């Protein structure tokens, strides 16, 4: 029996090829495109020289692996989204629970004027040294300085009410200067203590507020 063989020139004349398949978004071949290509290959194979069985089995195995990897990627993406949503819900709940509480957070922004920030702290490295604290304006100019004396390693609080109390209302920066016994000067990270009077939620996460100050929930290191 004679089986007609489709001429490839007919496809060429129409400007299309039976083996042409659209790529998935981003240029990568997805499982649907792979299946279409496999079906086209089987449909248009030379009946006098059909596809080798072992080669077809290998292609089917590749298709199966591709499908499994695609499904796995989808599952992992769903799990990541669920974990992000859960983390956001936990942070939002934690932020609400902090209303009215006094927190200590990593940050160097303080409030000046009546009702301004009165308490800050820093973690002094082992070995200690001579510590001082400064209030700096938006231009980096030091407005006031307080010497705290020689301190040992560990968390060291500082009352800055006399530094911020008579400043105009607004926000300022607090900086610590630690001079070691060898004369080296470092600037340990500042911690600000404030009473939470509000909560703010946004695309960048949950924040607690205290007057004009705002602290990301993840920067809080202590709660009273």
Of the ranges 24-28, 38-42, 44-48, 199-203, the best mean pLDDT one: 199-203
Helix (H) or strand (E) holding 150: strand 142-151
Max CA pair span of the chain: 105
> Which value, to the nearest 10 degrees, does the dihedral of the CA atoms of residues 76, 82, 84, 90 take?
-150
pLDDT value, residue 1 = 44
pLDDT band at 7 (very low <50, low <70, confident <90, very high): very low
Of the ranges 33-47, 86-100, 178-192, the best mean pLDDT one: 178-192
For the residues 117-127, what does the mean pLDDT come to?
Answer: 95
For the residues 22-33, what does the mean pLDDT come to?
Answer: 58
- 81 near 204, Cβ under 8 Å? no
194 pLDDT more than 90: yes
- Residue 220: count other Cβ atoms within 10 Å of its Cβ: 20
pLDDT value, residue 146 = 96
Q: What angle do CA 101, 214, 212 make, to 5 degrees?
A: 95
More confident residue, 19 or 136: 136
pLDDT value, residue 131 = 97
pLDDT band at 169 (very low <50, low <70, confident <90, very high): very high
More confident residue, 177 or 224: 177
Compute the distance between CA of residue 84 and CA of residue 67 in angstroms, rounded to an integer. Answer: 26
């Amino acid at each position: 029996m004679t089986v007609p063989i489709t001429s490839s020139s007919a496809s060429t004349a129409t400007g299309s090829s039976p083996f042409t398949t659209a790529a998935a978004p981003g240029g990568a071949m997805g499982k649907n495109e792979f299946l279409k290509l496999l079906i086209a290959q089987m449909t248009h194979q030379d009946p006098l020289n059909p596809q080798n069985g072992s080669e077809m089995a290998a292609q089917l195995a590749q298709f199966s692996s591709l499908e499994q990897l695609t499904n796995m990627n989808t599952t992992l993406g769903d799990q990541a989204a669920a974990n992000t949503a859960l983390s956001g819900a936990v942070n939002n709940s934690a932020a609400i629970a902090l209303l009215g509480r006094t927190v200590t957070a990593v940050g160097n922004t303080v409030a000046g004027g009546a009702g301004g920030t009165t308490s800050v702290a820093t973690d002094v490295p082992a070995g200690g040294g001579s510590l001082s604290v400064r209030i700096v304006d938006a231009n980096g100019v030091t407005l006031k300085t307080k010497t705290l004396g020689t301190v040992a390693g560990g968390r060291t609080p500082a009352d800055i009410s006399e530094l911020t109390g008579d400043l105009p209302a607004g926000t300022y920066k607090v900086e610590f200067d630690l001079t070691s016994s060898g004369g080296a000067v470092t600037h340990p990270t500042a911690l600000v203590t404030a009473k939470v009077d509000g909560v703010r939620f946004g695309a960048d996460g949950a924040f607690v507020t205290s007057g004009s100050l705002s602290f990301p929930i993840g920067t809080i290191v202590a709660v009273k």
